[in-house]
Amino acid sequence: MRVKVKQKKSVAQDIDIVPQDCKESWVYTNIVKDHFFHPQNLVTDANKISGYSGLGMVGSPACGDMMKIWVWIDQKTDRLKKMKWQTFGCGSAIAATSMLSVMVTEKGGMKVDQALKIRPQDITQRLGTLPVRKIHCSVLGDKALRSAINNYFVRTKQKSRIIEESARMVDKFARVTDRDIEEAVLEGAKDLDAVQKKTKVGIGHPELIPEVEQLIRFYSEKYFG
């Protein structure tokens, strides 16, 4: 794809890359670029990893990418001492996860309960911003982190802290779950029409629409504020 690169006055130090056939502006901040070109805590050889407390892995149906996160947790203080990661995701996923690894390990390490509450907005805020259609890339990291912490709860037999996360069927005819709707919103679908184009949810079953609309509002609020 041909791109033109231009300097934007409002974000003087950022490069605004605009694909020629796209009306949207894709702004990457210097912080994003720095984390992309110099990723922190990236694993290049997973065979060398050992002694970790938990391992989490998620894949994004949106783009076929996966993210693996390893955590080292001090059980006495309940703080994250180290986080390492590996991904086949794009540049935004690399920058977002690199920033996530800094956020959870800086200042002596984040408390586990606090790390579980990190939202994609918290990561994008620290990065300055991310293009809207790239928000789902930052979700890969925070989901994999929760999965790694959950794995730590399982390994250390902290049964009361284990989080059960299973998808709920919203439309049994089209086989669409709440996770599918969440992914559609993360991919940029903002209303019922757009979500139906991606998932076929509720088509031919108008009785399901109020719940679908409620989920679209919920996930839009959750990820885009």
Strand order in the sheet with 3-7: 3-7, 15-19, 26-28
Binding mask 36-65 toward ligand FES (x if CB under 6 A, else -) reads ------------------------x--x-x
Binding status of residue 90 toward ligand FES by CB under 6 A: yes
Q: What is the DSSP letter of 14?
A: S
Q: Which of 65, 73, 74, 75 is nearest to 97 (CA)?
A: 65
Q: How many CA atoms within 13 Å lie on the side-chain side of 124?
A: 21
Residue 137 appears among annotated catalytic residues:
yes
The interface region with ligand FES, picked from 37-45, 86-94, 124-132, 198-206 by CB under 6 A, is 86-94
Q: Give the residue, chosen from 137, 181, 185, 208, that forms a contact with ligand FES under the rule CB under 6 A.
A: 137
Residue 63 appears among annotated catalytic residues:
yes
How far, in Å, are 107, 151, 218 from residue 158 at the CA level?
Answer: 25, 10, 30
Of 104 and 137, CB closest to ligand FES? 137
Number of H helices, E strands in the chain: 8, 8
Q: Are strands 26-28 and 54-60 parallel, antiparallel or unpaired?
A: unpaired
Phi-psi region of 111 (alpha: psi -120 to 50; beta: other; left: phi over 0): beta
Binding status of residue 92 toward ligand FES by CB under 6 A: yes
Q: Which residue has the tokens 């935004």?
A: 92
Output the smallest distance, CB 126 to ligand FES, in A.
17
The interface region with ligand FES, picked from 49-57, 72-80, 85-93, 121-129 by CB under 6 A, is 85-93
Q: What is the DSSP letter of 85?
A: E
Q: Give the residue, chosen from 27, 58, 83, 93, that forms a contact with ligand FES under the rule CB under 6 A.
A: 93
Q: With contact defined as beta carbons under 8 Å apart, do 37 and 119 qualify?
A: no
Of 90 and 203, CB closest to ligand FES? 90
Q: With contact defined as beta carbons under 8 Å apart, do 75 and 7 qualify?
A: no
Active-site pick, 137, 144, 181, 185 = 137
Instruction: Give the whole-angstrom CA distance, residue 65 versus residue 137.
Output: 9
Binding status of residue 124 toward ligand FES by CB under 6 A: no
Active-site pick, 15, 57, 63, 102 = 63
Output the smallest distance, CB 137 to ligand FES, in A.
3
Of 35 and 134, CB closest to ligand FES? 134
**Residues making contact with ligand FES (CB under 6 A):** 60, 63, 65, 89-90, 92-93, 134, 137, 140
* Catalytic residue annotation: 63, 137
